[in-house]
């Protein structure tokens, strides 16, 4: 069956009472859907389409080599390096990472990461051009300065920074030393991403993550000293003991740190993926209604502070490149969330990293030991992934447009999918009919109303033709 046939069936499922349909109670009133939208619905976050839980083992290092070799000379590349180690393991966090207090695993891992970069380079054109470099984890700042320098020397011995090069790293204020921040600055780091989550002591104790305002402010001051002047911060709503009043205190403190960009994520309760989450007392968690209110209070506070809303969960100051990408209709979404990066090629290195090519996705071995074994044997570490069909590409484009612009424009999408023009319009029309209070459709243009944008993931999910199994996604 063609993709549009599947979409039509999915849309019909919502309208008629059909006990076989697995997409929720079709008789649910829209007012109930409002509250059950992104706050309880287990739908993907759509940082890729299809989502990573649909990757398969037909894709491996061989496919990765083939797709790397198709990268054109001079084509901008976005490089992500994953450092899966932390000094502490916060209970709320579902990142794939492991705790360590010793240097030895970090040294071996950096050696392997350098070796993997060499293996990747063997398949790329000479002097590949970097548009973005992002260090994430885990905690990249767990690396001492000399190991960080070793890794970055390897990166820049292979890649050349392009003209609009942006280099960002995730910073843990509780362990980032002045020397590692100086090293990052020396190599051209120009954006920092700082995890805050919540400043309230009661909340921090309940999520196993203590981090004072003073520690965070120290890092912000050091970044200024090293002329790293673009600062992102992450906040989380829906944490235990969080209330409207306590969240207001956190937000007021965050405002004094003057970030350019904020990501406001809902606490994702996925104990089947991250066992340490069972340490969190479920009875202290806000309910769906409270999560809804916490997010909207945060949004209102940030808009009052001069931030612009970006996508479903980001906020940025008007001068920030993400806000400018929104104004120009150039906002994109990839595995790192919202971005203004226009690269078609994102290479992920390190255990569990995902690469994105025009042809599809490749994910490295997820466990650090398997990843290390693969690279030690001089094999690329790709272990699973997905080759995009034409239909995947079309749906991916429509979902990305909804997640970034809250709109679909049939004539624009049809330029890249000329044979699908009338199908695209029909699907858009159906989508608006099934979310009449949230969407309007006219003359080939579908729009999600500003007050209903929190429903975007749920609306996008109706275009998704892959089954969503219960429990596979975070709330």
Provide the minimum distance between the beta carbon of 194 and ligand SF4 in the complex, in angstroms, as a whole number: 11
**Closest CB to ligand SF4 among residues 96, 397:** 96
Provide the minimum distance between the beta carbon of 158 and ligand SF4 in the complex, in angstroms, as a whole number: 26
Rounded Cα distance between 443 and 432, Å, is 12
What SS3 state is found at 264? strand
Rounded Cα distance between 268 and 276, Å, is 13
C-alpha 341: how far from chain center: 13
Rounded Cα distance between 231 and 220, Å, is 8
Residue from 12, 40, 65, 95 binding ligand SF4 (CB under 6 A): 95
Provide the minimum distance between the beta carbon of 332 and ligand SF4 in the complex, in angstroms, as a whole number: 24
**Closest CB to ligand SF4 among residues 172, 200:** 172
The binding track of 209-238 with respect to ligand SF4, each residue x by CB under 6 A or -, is: x-----------------------------
Rounded Cα distance between 267 and 287, Å, is 12
**Closest CB to ligand SF4 among residues 191, 209:** 209
Q: Is the peptide bond before 364 cis (omega within 30 degrees of 0)?
A: no
Rounded Cα distance between 467 and 464, Å, is 8
The one segment of 136-144, 251-259, 279-287, 298-306 that binds ligand SF4 by CB under 6 A: 136-144
Q: Which of 92, 93, 96 has its CA nearest to residue 282?
A: 92
Q: Is residue 172 at the binding interface for ligand SF4, with CB under 6 A as the rule?
A: yes
Provide the minimum distance between the beta carbon of 136 and ligand SF4 in the complex, in angstroms, as a whole number: 9
Residue from 11, 79, 81, 93 binding ligand SF4 (CB under 6 A): 93
**Closest CB to ligand SF4 among residues 38, 195:** 195
Q: Is residue 90 at the binding interface for ligand SF4, with CB under 6 A as the rule?
A: yes
The binding track of 96-115 with respect to ligand SF4, each residue x by CB under 6 A or -, is: -x------------------
Rounded Cα distance between 202 and 207, Å, is 9
**Closest CB to ligand SF4 among residues 90, 310:** 90
Residue from 37, 61, 76, 195 binding ligand SF4 (CB under 6 A): 195
Strands (E), 3-144: 76-83, 85-86, 98-99, 129-137
**Closest CB to ligand SF4 among residues 82, 430:** 82
Rounded Cα distance between 246 and 201, Å, is 10
CA dihedral 121, 122, 124, 126 (to 10 degrees): 80
Q: Which of 281, 294, 169 has its CA nearest to residue 235?
A: 294
The one segment of 61-69, 81-89, 334-342, 390-398 that binds ligand SF4 by CB under 6 A: 81-89
Q: Is residue 137 at the binding interface for ligand SF4, with CB under 6 A as the rule?
A: yes
Provide the minimum distance between the beta carbon of 102 and ligand SF4 in the complex, in angstroms, as a whole number: 16
Rounded Cα distance between 7 and 412, Å, is 20
Provide the minimum distance between the beta carbon of 222 and ligand SF4 in the complex, in angstroms, as a whole number: 18
Q: Do 470 and 53 meet the contact criterion of CB atoms below 8 Å apart?
A: no
Provide the minimum distance between the beta carbon of 301 and ligand SF4 in the complex, in angstroms, as a whole number: 23
**Closest CB to ligand SF4 among residues 93, 346:** 93
Provide the minimum distance between the beta carbon of 292 and ligand SF4 in the complex, in angstroms, as a whole number: 24
Provide the minimum distance between the beta carbon of 84 and ligand SF4 in the complex, in angstroms, as a whole number: 9
Q: Is residue 116 at the binding interface for ligand SF4, with CB under 6 A as the rule?
A: no
Rounded Cα distance between 196 and 178, Å, is 19
The one segment of 82-90, 183-191, 424-432, 465-473 that binds ligand SF4 by CB under 6 A: 82-90
Report the half-sphere exposure of 438 (CA within 13 A, side-chain side): 24
CA dihedral 27, 32, 36, 39 (to 10 degrees): 160
∠ CA 82-85-89, nearest 5°, is 125
Residue from 89, 149, 158, 279 binding ligand SF4 (CB under 6 A): 89
Q: CB 450: neighbour CB atoms within 10 A?
A: 8
Provide the minimum distance between the beta carbon of 195 and ligand SF4 in the complex, in angstroms, as a whole number: 5
**Closest CB to ligand SF4 among residues 140, 360:** 140
Helices first, then strands: H and E counts in the chain: 16, 19
Provide the minimum distance between the beta carbon of 99 and ligand SF4 in the complex, in angstroms, as a whole number: 8
Rounded Cα distance between 97 and 382, Å, is 18
Residues near ligand SF4, by CB under 6 A? 86, 88-90, 93, 95, 97, 137-139, 172, 195, 209
């Amino acid at each position: 069956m063609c993709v549009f046939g599947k979409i039509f069936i999915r849309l019909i499922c919502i309208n008629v009472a059909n006990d076989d349909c697995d997409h929720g109670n079709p008789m649910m009133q829209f007012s109930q859907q409002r509250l059950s939208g992104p706050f309880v619905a287990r739908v993907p976050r759509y940082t890729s389409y299809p989502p990573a839980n649909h990757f398969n083992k037909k894709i491996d290092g061989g496919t990765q080599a083939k797709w790397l070799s198709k990268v054109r000379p001079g084509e901008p590349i976005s490089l992500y390096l994953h450092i899966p180690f932390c000094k502490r393991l916060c209970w709320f966090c579902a990142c794939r990472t492991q705790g360590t207090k010793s240097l030895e695993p970090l040294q071996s891992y950096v050696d392997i990461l350098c070796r993997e970069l060499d293996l990747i380079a063997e398949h790329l054109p000479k002097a590949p051009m970097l548009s973005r470099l992002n260090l994430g984890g885990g905690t990249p700042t767990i690396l001492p300065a000399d190991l960080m320098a070793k890794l970055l020397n390897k990166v820049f011995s292979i890649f050349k920074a392009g003209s609009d090069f942006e280099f960002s790293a995730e910073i843990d204020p509780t362990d980032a030393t002045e020397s590692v921040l100086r090293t990052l600055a020396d190599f051209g780091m120009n954006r920092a991403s700082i995890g805050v989550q919540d400043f309230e002591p009661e909340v921090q104790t309940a999520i196993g993550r203590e981090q004072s305002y003073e520690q965070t402010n120290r890092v912000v001051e050091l970044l200024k000293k090293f002329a790293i002047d673009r600062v992102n911060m992450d906040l989380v709503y829906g944490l235990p003991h969080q209330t409207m009043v306590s969240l207001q205190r956190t937000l007021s403190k965050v405002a004094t740190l003057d970030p350019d960009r904020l990501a406001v994520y809902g606490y994702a309760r996925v104990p089947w993926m991250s066992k340490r989450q069972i340490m969190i007392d479920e009875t202290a968690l806000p309910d769906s209604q409270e999560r809804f209110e916490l997010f909207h209070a945060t949004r209102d506070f940030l808009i009052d502070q001069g931030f612009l809303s970006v996508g479903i969960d980001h906020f940025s100051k008007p001068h920030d490149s993400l806000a400018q990408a929104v104004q120009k209709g150039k906002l994109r979404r990839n595995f790192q969330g919202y971005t203004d990066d226009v690269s078609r090629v994102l290479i992920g290195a390190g255990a569990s990293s995902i690469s994105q090519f025009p042809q599809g996705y490749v994910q490295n071995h997820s466990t650090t030991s398997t990843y290390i074994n693969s690279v030690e044997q001089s094999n690329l570490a790709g272990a699973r992934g997905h080759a995009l069909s034409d239909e995947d590409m079309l749906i991916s484009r429509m979902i990305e447009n909804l997640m970034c612009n809250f709109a679909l424009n049939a004539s624009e999408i049809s330029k890249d999918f000329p044979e699908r023009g009338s199908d695209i319009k029909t699907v858009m029309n159906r989508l608006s009919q099934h979310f009449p209070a949230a969407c309007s459709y006219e003359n080939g243009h579908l729009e999600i109303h500003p007050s209903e944008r929190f429903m975007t993931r749920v609306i996008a999910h109706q275009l998704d033709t892959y089954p969503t199994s219960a429990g596979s996604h975070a709330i």
